[in-house]
Structure 1
Amino acid sequence: MPGLYPWPEVCIVFLKSFATEGFDHKTLVADDDSFKVINNIASRCPRRIIVVTHSGGPDIMPWATNPNESGNFIMDVLTGKVNPSGKLPYTIAKREEDYNVKIANITGPESMDRTTLR
């Protein structure tokens, strides 16, 4: 609805990947059409987008150029009190191929085949 509201200076998006015991991801793509959400917001928020992810493991983020750590200091980052140069315990890739590892789904029938874990 152009014209009703001014363009925001910052858009904040919170993404979460579903994670639970007994359920393995078959891909590293985040859940709930997250790429569509990011692209939709990017088309409406031309200045700056901050994406905060809370996942049970690594995701791919092809739209990320500077992925940063999320945590208790989100407000400090948003207000400019700290530089968001986070240190994560895993790599955030733009594509699944960037990880160079096979994904093994160990909850389905193929879980009995030990070659899926190699």
Structure 2
Amino acid sequence: MTARPLVAAPAPKDPAPLRNEKYRRAVASLPCAHCGIAGYSQHAHENDGKAKGQKLDDRRAMPLCSVRPGIEGCHVAFDQYRLVPGGRAAHIELGRAMAAQTRQLLNTMGLWPARIPQLPPTRPHD
């Protein structure tokens, strides 16, 4: 009897991150998830799992305020890990929580764009 060589099955690929302008605009229409100011928000991705030059799925984002005269804005501070004390772990946890809250808010307010699937829950706070 001849032993068959073991062949590893290819690992399943993660689906490509969703990119959708309507979703990004819906997120940016909300007040800043950190400071609450309205009218200056931008769609800001979480930073957990993000590689240099690579954005995450658009659904893993929250509205954060932009730079304006005399004010740095929460988006810049978030991207530079300075928005909250407690180091990287606190920052990652805050990003996850704000993104989950944003998804919930878009659904509650009826702003979730048609034909955009919900993000499957795979992490805490989803």
TM-score tier by shorter-chain length is under 0.3
Higher helix share: 2
TM-score normalized by the length of structure 2 = 0.21
TM-score normalized by the length of structure 1 = 0.21
Comparing both chains, which one has the higher relative contact order based on Cα–Cα distances under 8 Å and sequence gaps of 6 or more? Answer: 1
Q: Highest CA radius of gyration, 1 or 2?
A: 2
